Structure 1
């Protein structure tokens, strides 16, 4: 049951931005993964998201930790892009979702680069390579 709930939550988180815009409005890159909570807890996940965003020059706009869900929203100082990331406690696992958006158009490679760098920081925090 927990896996179904986690899968549903992750699917909604990933598809939510796409539902409100047309395909030619922006580019979206996302990464989703999960680790045992003993390897990655919510606080470590949120700290890793912040480090990853800072590493690509993004400024944190909002950060919230509610214990079972942490949200990190950031973007470059000049605008035009956004990074919305989540850490989700799901039973004995911690999942993360990284969504990178670029509002310059549908074919930008920017989101792939950003989400890969930020997700790599979370995986590093989890001890994964």
Structure 2
């Protein structure tokens, strides 16, 4: 399975999972079977709030699942339409959340858990 973790750094598995999908500067793409990973740039980072284009943001990344701290309703709906599941991250690194994803310990995002705005640092304002 291909999992994508939005992050604020290029630290790969050691980076912290970012609090908002659309404004994350980078994505860490992880093959959950081998744990091989690569860091990719968010191609839609500078969009207006409510205008996130998640498939554009992912670029050439073919993901099965996204693990993130927060996401907007529009982005969640667009990813669902593309058959990409979105799981809610816990505070911590990509590696920690990857372990939780593999054990089924991360819940899927629902529409009522989506972000309604951004804080100054780009995190979700729930």
TM-score tier, shorter chain, comes to under 0.3
Which structure has greater helix proportion? 1
Higher alpha-carbon Rg: 1
Higher relative CO (CA 8 A, sep ≥ 6), structure 1 or 2?
Answer: 1
